[in-house]
Each structure stands twice: as C-alpha cells, then as structure tokens.
C-alpha cells in the first residue's frame, strides 16, 4: 500500500534515518503498482528538494512511475534527461505507450529502440492483441523468433489469444506443440489460454 509505505518512510525520517536511492526507488515502485500519481509526484518533489543524487536506478524508477500512472509527458521528460538510457528505461516508455498511448505511437517507439529484450517484444505483441490487431501480433512474434529470441509464457499467452480471436487453429496447434516440447510445467494461465484458443477455434 502506497500510503503505508509513505507512513513508514516518515517514521524512518523521524527516527533519524536518512533515505538512500533504494528507499526512494521503492516508494516510486509502490506508486507505480497502485498508479498513484499524486504521491509519486510528491516523492519526485522530495528527491529534487532534498538534493538526492539521481542515478540510473532512480531515473528509471521515475520514468516507470510516470509511465504507469499515465503521465506520458513527464515520463518522456524524465527519459530525455537521462544521460544513459538502458533497455529497461526504453521498455518502461514503451509499456507506457502501449497502456496509455496509441498503438501507432507504441510501434514507432518500439521501432526506434536501440536494444530490445523479451519484455519489450511482449509489450508490443500484447498491445496489438489488446487492440484487436492479431495478425500484426503474430507477425511480430515471428519477427522476434527470426532474431533468435525464444518466446516465453507471456508471449505464448498473447499469441494464443490472437489465434483464438481470428480462429487461426493452424498457428494455435503449432504453439501447442511448442509448449509441449519446450515448456516444463506450464503456468495455469498458459493452460487456460490453450483451452480458450481451442474453444474459440
């Protein structure tokens, strides 16, 4: 709970303990998880007023917080102020675009990323599925695999959802075979996605 985290932070200060970057990053993470922009902005103000050293960890946490809370302008501003931009910060901005922006803006951002990890690919694939652009999702998954990156369970759930929506039983069965041969003890959400795909097809 964000407010409980802030109360604990206040108690820590009252007892004479000073926060470090991990304390502040944890507060921002709590704000991100609850999409609490109000408290997130207060934490950011505290960072600025207290003169805390803002390193890559805090910079990424700020981008993530603003992005998840839907303030794309501030997320972009924090991102642009980062002297070193990691794949994590690029992916945080992508996730913000997929959740609160347009699919075209998200794809433009994705295409300009200098480096991508599985989270980046999954965010863009899932964005396509959620917006009903299932053929684009399947094409992107194929592109990801052609670059040597194996799909994980999150990728497979999204692909199965796409197959179910457009009735593509052929690709759905191919994914089922991949799961059987490569995924040991699949998660319940993946099994449910398989059942849903077969039912819809």
pTM over 0.75: yes
Q: Which of 35, 46, 48 is nearest to 2 (CA)?
A: 35
Model pLDDT, residue 14: 83
In this prediction, residue 11 has a pLDDT band, given cuts at 50, 70 and 90, of: confident
* Dihedral over Cα of 17, 22, 25, 31: its sign: negative
Q: Tens of pLDDT along 13-64?
A: 788 877 788 888 889 999 999 999 999 999 999 888 888 778 888 899 999 9
Return mean pLDDT, the chain: 91
Model pLDDT, residue 22: 84
Model pLDDT, residue 76: 94
Task: Report, as an integer, the average pLDDT of 156-172.
Answer: 97
Neighbours of 149 (CB within 10 A): 16
Alpha-carbon distance 9 to 94, whole Å? 30
Q: Which of 129, 116, 185 is nearest to 155 (CA)?
A: 129
Q: Which of 163, 146, 155 is nearest to 179 (CA)?
A: 155
Structure tokens at 161: 């959802």
Model pLDDT, residue 46: 87
Q: Which of 94, 21, 33 is nearest to 59 (CA)?
A: 21
Model pLDDT, residue 111: 96
Q: Tens of pLDDT along 87-141?
A: 989 999 999 999 888 899 999 999 999 999 999 999 999 999 999 999 999 999 9
How buried is 99 (Cβ within 10 angstroms: 0-12 exposed, 13-18 middle, 19+ buried)? middle
Length of the chain: 201
Q: Tens of pLDDT along 39-53?
A: 999 999 988 888 877
In this prediction, residue 174 has a pLDDT band, given cuts at 50, 70 and 90, of: very high
Model pLDDT, residue 5: 77
């Amino acid at each position: 709970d964000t407010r409980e985290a802030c109360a604990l932070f206040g108690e820590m200060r009252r007892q004479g303990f000073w926060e470090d970057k991990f304390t502040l990053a944890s507060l921002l993470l709590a704000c991100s998880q609850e999409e609490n922009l109000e408290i997130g902005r207060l934490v950011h103000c505290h960072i600025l007023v207290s003169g805390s050293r803002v390193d890559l960890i805090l910079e990424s946490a700020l981008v993530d917080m603003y992005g998840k809370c839907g303030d794309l302008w501030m997320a972009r501003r924090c991102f642009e102020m980062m002297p070193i931009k990691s794949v994590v910060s690029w992916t945080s901005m992508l996730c913000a675009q997929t959740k609160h922006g347009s699919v075209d803006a998200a794809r433009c951002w994705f295409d300009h990323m200098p480096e991508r990890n599985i989270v980046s690919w999954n965010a863009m694939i899932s964005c396509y599925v959620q917006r009903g652009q299932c053929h684009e999702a399947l094409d992107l998954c194929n592109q990801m695999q052609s670059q040597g990156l194996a799909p994980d369970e999150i990728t497979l759930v999204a692909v199965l959802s796409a197959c179910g929506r457009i009735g593509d039983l052929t690709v759905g069965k191919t994914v089922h075979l991949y799961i059987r041969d490569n995924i040991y003890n699949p998660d319940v959400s993946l099994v449910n996605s398989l059942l849903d795909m077969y039912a819809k097809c």
